[in-house]
Amino acid sequence: MATVSLRNIHKTFGKTEVIHGIDCDIEDGEFVVLLGPSGCGKSTVLRMIAGLETVSRGEIRIGDQVVNKLEPAERDIAMVFQNYALYPHMNVAKNMAYGLKIRGMPQQEIDKRVNRAAEILELTPYLSRKPRQLSGGQRQRVAMGRCIVRQPKVFLFDEPLSNLDAKLRAQMRLELRNLHEKLGITSIYVTHDQVEAMTLGNRLMVINDGRAEQIGSPLAVYEQPKSLFVAGFIGSPAMNFLKAKLTNDNQTAQLPDGACIDLPGRARSDAKSDEIVLGIRPEHFQPTDASDANICLDVDHVETLGADTLVHGRLSHQSDPLTIRLTDVHHFDRHHRLRVTVAPERLHVFDPETGSRMAIRQPDRHA
């Protein structure tokens, strides 16, 4: 096992820079997820760590060693790809053992490692089967077993669950988490699926356009997103963004329909204008019968999901769409006026010019 350090790494293809200086220290035994939309650069970062792409500028360390100029085979890493890449003519045991065999490892040690990996991954009954006789989840476990027998310093996962159906993905997420807890090997995992990221990672690196927008624990990223991009990318359904203006000495947000919502404190006073973007997650609305409810939604349509109900509507005909997530089953007619409230501490305030989170100064209790 080993730490992984990224020091101001850049990547250019010709004159186009695609990675714009990423810094991160990954601790020994940590599970870090690189999360972002397609084309954001997350796989490029992983491939630079693996040695499959050169680093244009900056430094990558695995343990105490700078690996920029080392070949992939010299970095003591193991990589699991989206494509299982199994040898179709070999059975499970031979697929898992092949890398060790070409390195000249004694057969007794190979058998010991293969049997141990098969036990961890619950593949022992399938060691004599060929890939075509396995399910998608079993094939992916074989691909992981091939990495486990290597006993590398670092595991690299490049969207390994993308080819599986929803039920298998949920099962494999649990298996991956259990595997990491058993082995404790430093792991770096690339995905665009926020559910995978939130459930697997000790920390997330949210990447946007080749930049690390935020690095932190899943809950920290969810509860305190540093930018509009992170706020909109994390969470399902996505966070609602409402244009608003600061009033009442920057302690209240006024919505386009005239409704006012109290902020948890005073928004930063150095903002260039009183325009803000107010972020509210769909699950943080609470229905109310009170006549002084601060938000009234004109219902457009309702999605009943069983355990939850998604209500879609608008504050007014001119406002952007708004989504509210309510627990249990609810029925509302079209154009129904739904009164809801949201606790001030659940609000997120962003600067519309920079997209960055605005600081909220808590009220002085001793004033």
Tokens of 270: 């150095």
348/367 Cα distance (integer angstroms): 25
Confidence at residue 227, expressed as pLDDT on a 0 to 100 scale = 96
Tell the CATH superfamily of the 238-361 domain: Nucleic acid-binding proteins (2.40.50.140)
How does strand 186-191 pair with strand 31-35? parallel
350 contacts 357 by C-beta, under 8 angstroms? yes
The per-residue pLDDT for range 84-102, each reduced to its tens digit, is: 789 999 999 999 999 899 8
345/228 Cα distance (integer angstroms): 18
195/173 Cα distance (integer angstroms): 9
Is the pLDDT at 363 greater than 70, yes or no? no
Tokens of 312: 């879609």
Residue in the block written with tokens 């190979």: 110
Q: Provide the residue ranges of all domains of the chain, joining segments of one domain with +.
A: 4-231, 238-361
If DSSP codes are grouped into helix, strand and coil, which group holds residue 119?
helix
Confidence at residue 82, expressed as pLDDT on a 0 to 100 scale = 81
The per-residue pLDDT for range 60-74, each reduced to its tens digit, is: 999 999 999 999 989
Is the pLDDT at 218 greater than 90, yes or no? yes
Which of 66-70, 147-151, 158-162, 257-261 shows the lowest mean pLDDT across its residues? 257-261
2/105 Cα distance (integer angstroms): 23
CATH (one of 3.40.605.10, 3.40.50.300, 3.30.2040.10, 3.30.450.20) for 4-231 = 3.40.50.300
Could you report how far apart the first and last alpha carbons of the chain are, in Å?
53
The candidate with the shortest Cα–Cα distance to 127, out of 90, 91, 89, is: 91
The per-residue pLDDT for range 168-188, each reduced to its tens digit, is: 888 888 888 988 998 899 999
5 contact partners, CB below 8 Å, separation of at least 6 = 24, 25, 26, 59, 60, 61
The per-residue pLDDT for range 252-283, each reduced to its tens digit, is: 998 877 888 889 888 876 667 789 999 999 99
